[in-house]
């Protein structure tokens, strides 16, 4: 898949967002997994994705990566990001670090949001700096590299596991009750005591 900065899909192994994509998820929305029951506040999302709070805030305000669990409604409210949101945040950070244009990143993020939850783990995103390509098999990666189009790649499954490991050590919040879920960080004795006192 290939996506250009104007959001149009063309050529490549499979253009991002193309209706001709044979790997696109055909799972009906009703059959997809229900919304996550755990959300992550901004500082936790930043720590897991390796970004600054200023980046997180800017991306949310400009609509690049908005929190899907709970957006901020004025001052005093906390945004809550889903696990998948945090994976997308980390992917955006990696794209920016390698010099991909923001308009191309924005189009790729829209495509990632449209994909099925299980599809993300098997995906590799390749880029030449100007265009983002989606590859779902090793053959597509090789084909892209042989054509001179791919310069670097992001294995989404690896990012997924990195975020999973980071979030397991940080605090989450139950969406339904607001209860703080303490991560498995042995150094955070204060948070454990606070939870026991409640």
Evaluate if residue 24 carries a pLDDT over 60. Answer: no
CA distance 116 to 110: 12
Helix axes 156-168, 42-49, angle to 10 degrees: 130
Tokens of 96: 């920016």
Overall average pLDDT of the 82-97 stretch: 93
Bridge partner list, 94: none
pTM for the whole structure? 0.72
CA distance 30 to 185: 36
- Per-residue pLDDT of 120-174, as tens digits, reads 777 888 887 777 888 888 888 888 888 776 678 888 889 999 999 999 999 899 8
Residues 6+ apart with CB under 8 A from 109: 64, 65, 88, 91, 92
Bridge partner list, 127: 132, 152
Tokens of 168: 């397991």
Measuring CA to CA, how many Å separate 159 from each of 58, 78, 156, 166, 189?
22, 25, 5, 11, 28
Q: Among 2-6, 41-45, 50-54, 137-141, which is the least confidently predicted range? A: 2-6
Q: Among 38-42, 83-87, 103-107, 161-165, which is the least confidently predicted range? A: 103-107
Overall average pLDDT of the 9-21 stretch: 37
pLDDT class of 60 with cuts at 50, 70, 90: very high
CB 145 within 8 A of CB 121: no
Name the maximum alpha-carbon separation found in the chain.
61
Per-residue pLDDT at 50? 96
Evaluate if residue 63 carries a pLDDT over 60. Answer: yes
CA distance 158 to 150: 18
Q: Among 43-52, 130-139, 183-192, which is the least confidently predicted range? A: 183-192
Between these two residues, 2 and 61, which has the higher pLDDT value?
61
Domains, the chain, ordered by start: 2-19+36-197 (1.10.1660.10)
């Amino acid at each position: 898949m290939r996506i250009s900065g104007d959001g149009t899909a063309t050529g490549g192994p499979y253009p991002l967002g193309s209706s001709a994509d044979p790997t696109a998820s055909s799972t009906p929305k009703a059959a997809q997994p229900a919304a996550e029951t755990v959300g992550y506040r901004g500082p936790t999302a930043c720590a897991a994705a390796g970004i600054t709070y200023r980046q997180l805030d800017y991306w949310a305000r400009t609509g690049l990566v908005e929190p899907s669990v709970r957006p901020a409604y004025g001052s005093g409210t906390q945004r809550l990001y889903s696990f998948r949101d945090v994976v997308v945040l980390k992917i955006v950070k990696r794209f920016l670090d390698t010099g991909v244009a923001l308009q191309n990143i924005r189009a790729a993020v829209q495509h990632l949001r449209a994909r099925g939850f299980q599809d993300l783990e098997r995906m590799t995103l390749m880029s030449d700096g100007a265009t983002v390509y989606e590859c779902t098999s090793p053959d597509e990666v090789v084909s892209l590299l042989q054509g001179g189009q791919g310069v670097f790649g992001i294995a989404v499954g690896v990012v997924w596991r990195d975020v999973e490991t980071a979030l397991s050590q940080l605090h989450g919040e139950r969406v339904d009750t607001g209860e703080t879920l303490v991560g498995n960080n042995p150094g955070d004795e204060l948070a454990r005591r606070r939870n026991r006192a409640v």
